[in-house]
Amino acid sequence: MTSRRLDLAGTRTFATPGAGQTRRRALAEFGFGWLQELWREACAGRRHEGVALAAVGSLARGDGGPLSDYDLVLVHHPRGLSGKEVGAFADKLWYPIWDAGVRLDHSVRTVADCRAVASDDLSAAVGLLDLTHVAGDADVVNAARSTVAHDWRANARTRLGEMQDSVVQRHARQGDLAHLIEPDLKEAHGGLRDMSVLRALTAAWLTDRPHGEVDEAYERILDVRDAIHVVTGRGRDRLTRDDQDACAALLGYTDADDLLTDLSTSARTIAYAVDGTLRRAMQSQRARTLRVGPRRPQLAPLGYGLYRHDGEAVLGPSADLSSDPIIPMRAAVVAARSGIPLSPTTLKNLAATAPGLPEPWPEVARNLFADLLASGPGLVTVWEGLDLAGVVERWIPEWQAVRSRPQRNAVHRHTVDRHLIETVVAASGMVRDVARPDLLMLAAVLHDIGKVPGSQDHSVTGAELADTVLQRMGVTDADRRIVVSLVREHLTLVELATRRDPEDPATITALSDAVGGSATTLDLLRALTEADASAAGPKAWSDWRAGLVQRLYEACRTALTAQSNQTEGEGALVVEPIETLSLSDDALDLIASGEPYVTVSSLGGAHRIDIIDRDRAGLFADTAGLLAAHGFVVRSAIVRTVDGLAVNEWWVDSPGGETPLPPVIARDLVRVGKGDRSPLGKLQRRKSSGVRSPGSGSVDSTRAMVISSASESATVIEVRATDRPGLLQDIGITLARASLSVRSAHIATYAGQTLDTFYVTEFGGGQLAPARAAQAVAMIIDTCDAD
């Protein structure tokens, strides 16, 4: 029997497309035929009413491997054969199977026994759902299967939570198949056991499951399992390092890396399917009510045409997929910040309908991409869905080469692509440590993009690929050079710190040369180094390594600061321009009548709003508050006073898709200026319901500081904080309460973090005294950190 099963697995058929399914079907047919022959021999010409042989597990499903074990159940009616007769009859079946060297898991049960076992044991219940007749009285098998299935559906509400706990515990214990070097193909997350979970969920009539790609992925993993059986001669489910080359050759792969890449992709497909299907099944149970009729969908607006529905982000009916190439990015940002996945239907529509981004990308797309990367842990699931749907590859074609690529390095715990995303998530927690968090995010997602087949030095290859990616995105030349250098030198800091003397001037010089003598770039490299190492695993970022890196970083930064006459890395300081204002007669007449002059121009999905008005106390806070109340997100702004007039330039994004209307903005500014605060009413609702950027409410507080010697006539205060609805208004109100005048403000938002510089004076003019400046800084920090 054993040799016959191996013959059917003939190695010549392994590399043939579709051969695995045919081979497994033949194995199942042979197994059923052999067992039916054993049944006839055991019966010895007698007819046994109410007794039948049934299969569960891989034999019942028809997906067993060459050396898979047999899971058999002898089902009998209690009013048929006696217990002693059933036991004797079972021995006639089991012993020939054991003698043939086949591993056997067997049981003898009545229909009532099957029902009781399924009620007490979740694993047994899932297995009995596949109960399949082999020989004997088919009615008793059908009765057992239908009874178990009926109970499974009837008790789905109580059993589902138990199943979810079991799945979560198994995944935590076995890990992700997609990211393991020696994975268990059956028990790991994304493995064969998860397909049983999918079948059980659909059998409970709770939800449907994905098909197509999921079924293909399942077949690929089964092929690898079959190859393990043939290579090892044992019915194993774990793919060890020692067997990978032989299995790859048997399956027709060029090398083991290609096998692991394909296996990882298949596991990711199944893992994503089981997570989503289980989540929707749980939601369907929570949503059950006693009301009659269809249940109306509960949609909570998230912005950008997205809604929260049953724990997933879905597109609303007003979303214009066919003409807006930026909508997939908007949807991803909203979902990641909300900590929920995009629904499979939404992902499918985004991938199939939304047009590709123009090259170079518009500025609003670059801003949204940075926001997405800085969204924190919520990015992982959203990115996984986008990647499986093919959206990420449309944004970054180079991503395809690193998708699911294994890393044969004991330090790394993830595939290349997953490591890049884990690095991004780690870097998102360091956004306040650097002046340009958007550049940190870009460097994090691209730093290992050069780990492609044939690359001799992935840092050098990665720098070349990153340069191409950044040009396609339309990143400015200056910013592109910084990110490219970070990708090229992303290992330099840790290598110098661990292999050289951190306090040796030559070591410090080597690091300074690597960052081009820029303290800003050094700060970015320091953050990228820690994010990269901590994402790789505990072996890559120990206290010892962290201490050496910090010593070298501090020594180099001190040297760079001493060499520079200006304080670099303190933010994007802007030298105040000295301007002479020139306005049209219509604008002058409008301002003279007491109304502001407002113009709006749109470019690439962003909107520029120019506002000129008579300067007054609180104008900055009122304008910021009105823009937030209308649902606009301020990306950048330059606010200054020229010839007694406030000349303000605001760049905003519109999550709701509305275009700013100059008459509406002008009207509301007039109303607020006269004391009518009703136009700001919507802002309070947005503050309470808006989705905040990652880091809101974290222990990492706002950073505010006085930049000395930045201006001879004003006190310059720089603020780094997590952006949120109404933040600029709150800061403006705080400055007004401190009896300070905002002479100019330079607002910038990078990757969900604000980098704002305020030139403030006393109302009568002049710089703030040290005590007053310290008081203003403390008030700003309290305001930004307030919920």
pLDDT, tens digit, 9 for 90 and up, residues 4-31: 454 544 545 566 666 778 888 888 888 8
Distance in angstroms (rounded) separating the CA atoms of residues 8 and 486: 54
Q: Is the pLDDT of residue 284 over 50?
A: yes
pLDDT tens digit sequence for 727-752 = 888 898 898 888 888 888 888 887 77
Distance in angstroms (rounded) separating the CA atoms of residues 57 and 468: 50
In a domain, 568, yes or no: no
> Which of 130, 154, 178 finishes a domain?
154
pLDDT for residue 17: 63
DSSP structure class, residue 501: -
pLDDT for residue 577: 47
CATH code: domain of residue 35: 3.30.460.10
Q: Which among 377, 517, 523, 379 has a CA at the least distance from the CA of 437?
A: 523
Q: Is the pLDDT of residue 773 over 80?
A: yes
Q: Which among 679, 660, 659 has a CA at the least distance from the CA of 670?
A: 679
pLDDT for residue 698: 42
Q: What is the chain's Cα-based Rg?
A: 33
In a domain, 570, yes or no: no
Count Cα atoms within 13 angstroms, Cβ side, for 547: 3
pLDDT for residue 484: 97
> For the purposes of burial, counting CB atoms within 10 Å of the CB of 338, is it exposed (0-12), middle (13-18) or buried (19 or more)?
buried
End-to-end CA distance of the chain: 71
Q: Is the pLDDT of residue 753 over 90?
A: no
- Span 105-129, average pLDDT: 90
Distance in angstroms (rounded) separating the CA atoms of residues 524 and 537: 21
- Span 629-651, average pLDDT: 81
In a domain, 478, yes or no: yes
Q: How many domains does the chain have?
A: 4
Helix (H, G, I), strand (E, B) or coil at 25: helix
Which residues have C-beta within 8 Å of that of residue 438, sequence separation ≥ 6?
A: 366, 367, 370, 374, 750, 751
Q: Is the pLDDT of residue 547 over 50?
A: yes
In a domain, 525, yes or no: yes
In a domain, 372, yes or no: yes
pLDDT for residue 695: 41
pLDDT for residue 474: 94
Quick one: angle between helices 543-563 and 505-514, nearest 10? Answer: 80
Give the rounded distance of the alpha carbon of 564 from its chain centre: 40
- Span 140-169, average pLDDT: 88
Q: Is the pLDDT of residue 209 over 70?
A: yes
Based on the domain organization, do 380 and 397 belong to the same domain?
A: yes
In a domain, 571, yes or no: no
Among 72-81, 203-212, 709-718, name the one with the lowest average pLDDT. 203-212
Distance in angstroms (rounded) separating the CA atoms of residues 160 and 169: 14
pLDDT for residue 386: 94
Give the 3-state DSSP-derived string for 663-706, with helices as H, strands as E and coil as C: HHHHHHHHHHHCCCCHHHHHHHHHHHHCCCCCCCCCCCCCEEEE
Based on the domain organization, do 652 and 773 belong to the same domain?
A: yes
Q: Is the pLDDT of residue 452 over 70?
A: yes
Helix (H, G, I), strand (E, B) or coil at 299: coil
Based on the domain organization, do 90 and 128 belong to the same domain?
A: yes
> Which of 510, 531, 563 finishes a domain?
563
pLDDT for residue 289: 45
Are 237 and 222 in contact by the 8 Å Cβ rule? The answer is: no
- Span 455-465, average pLDDT: 92
Based on the domain organization, do 520 and 613 belong to the same domain?
A: no
Among 285-299, 414-428, 676-690, 706-720, name the one with the lowest average pLDDT. 285-299
Distance in angstroms (rounded) separating the CA atoms of residues 350 and 273: 18
Tokens of 667: 């009207």
pLDDT tens digit sequence for 29-48 = 888 999 999 998 888 767 67
> Which of 235, 254, 286 finishes a domain?
286
Based on the domain organization, do 542 and 619 belong to the same domain?
A: no
What share of the chain in percent tops pLDDT 70? 89
Q: Which among 422, 367, 358, 424 has a CA at the least distance from the CA of 395?
A: 358
DSSP structure class, residue 356: P
Q: Is the pLDDT of residue 575 over 50?
A: no
Where is pLDDT greater, at 180 or 509?
509
Where is pLDDT greater, at 601 or 527?
527
Based on the domain organization, do 136 and 201 belong to the same domain?
A: no
Which contacts of 694-699 are long-range, i.e. CB under 8 A and separated by 24 or more positions?
694/337, 694/374, 694/375, 694/376, 694/378, 694/428, 694/722, 694/752, 695/376, 695/428, 695/429, 695/431, 695/432, 695/722, 695/752, 695/753, 696/722, 696/724, 697/787, 698/722
pLDDT for residue 686: 58
Structural domain including 270 reads 158-286
Q: Is the pLDDT of residue 263 over 50?
A: yes
Which residues have C-beta within 8 Å of that of residue 762, sequence separation ≥ 6?
A: 739, 740, 741, 768, 772
Q: Is the pLDDT of residue 217 over 90?
A: yes
CATH code: domain of residue 423: 1.10.3090
Left, alpha or beta for 473 (phi > 0: left; psi -120 to 50: alpha)? alpha
pLDDT band at 305 (very low <50, low <70, confident <90, very high): confident
Based on the domain organization, do 703 and 602 belong to the same domain?
A: yes
Where is pLDDT greater, at 369 or 561?
369
Q: Is the pLDDT of residue 254 over 70?
A: yes
Among 168-177, 670-679, 683-692, name the one with the lowest average pLDDT. 683-692
Q: Outline where 47-188 has alpha helix (H).
A: 57-61, 83-99, 111-120, 122-128, 138-154, 156-174
> For the purposes of burial, counting CB atoms within 10 Å of the CB of 234, is it exposed (0-12), middle (13-18) or buried (19 or more)?
exposed
Based on the domain organization, do 175 and 147 belong to the same domain?
A: no
Based on the domain organization, do 280 and 306 belong to the same domain?
A: no
Most confident of 250-259, 436-445, 641-650, 677-686: 436-445
Distance in angstroms (rounded) separating the CA atoms of residues 125 and 201: 12
Tokens of 625: 């508050």
Distance in angstroms (rounded) separating the CA atoms of residues 483 and 521: 9
Query: Would you list the DSSP string of 168-218?
Result: HHHHHHH-BGGG-SS-BTTTSBTSHHHHHHHHHHHHTTS-----THHHHHH
Count Cα atoms within 13 angstroms, Cβ side, for 616: 16
Based on the domain organization, do 242 and 139 belong to the same domain?
A: no
pLDDT for residue 221: 94
Percent helix, strand and coil across the chain, each to the nearest 5: 55, 15, 35
CATH code: domain of residue 187: 1.20.120
pLDDT for residue 694: 43
pLDDT band at 678 (very low <50, low <70, confident <90, very high): confident
pLDDT tens digit sequence for 470-495 = 999 999 999 999 999 999 999 999 98
For the chain, give the mean pLDDT: 84
Q: How many other CB atoms are found less than 10 A from the CB of residue 243?
A: 18
Distance in angstroms (rounded) separating the CA atoms of residues 315 and 599: 32
pLDDT band at 582 (very low <50, low <70, confident <90, very high): low
Based on the domain organization, do 250 and 317 belong to the same domain?
A: no
Based on the domain organization, do 149 and 176 belong to the same domain?
A: no
Helix (H, G, I), strand (E, B) or coil at 719: strand
Distance in angstroms (rounded) separating the CA atoms of residues 496 and 488: 14
In a domain, 572, yes or no: no
Give the 3-state DSSP-derived string for 235-256, with helices as H, strands as E and coil as C: CCCECCHHHHHHHHHHCCCCCH
pLDDT for residue 290: 41
Q: Is the pLDDT of residue 581 over 90?
A: no
pLDDT tens digit sequence for 49-72 = 789 999 999 999 989 888 899 999
Where is pLDDT greater, at 601 or 656?
601
Distance in angstroms (rounded) separating the CA atoms of residues 624 and 5: 75
Helix (H, G, I), strand (E, B) or coil at 718: strand
Are 637 and 591 in contact by the 8 Å Cβ rule? The answer is: no
pLDDT band at 569 (very low <50, low <70, confident <90, very high): very low
Helix (H, G, I), strand (E, B) or coil at 56: strand
- Span 97-103, average pLDDT: 88
- Span 758-769, average pLDDT: 86
pLDDT tens digit sequence for 431-449 = 888 889 999 999 999 999 9
In a domain, 402, yes or no: yes
pLDDT tens digit sequence for 136-151 = 889 999 999 999 999 8
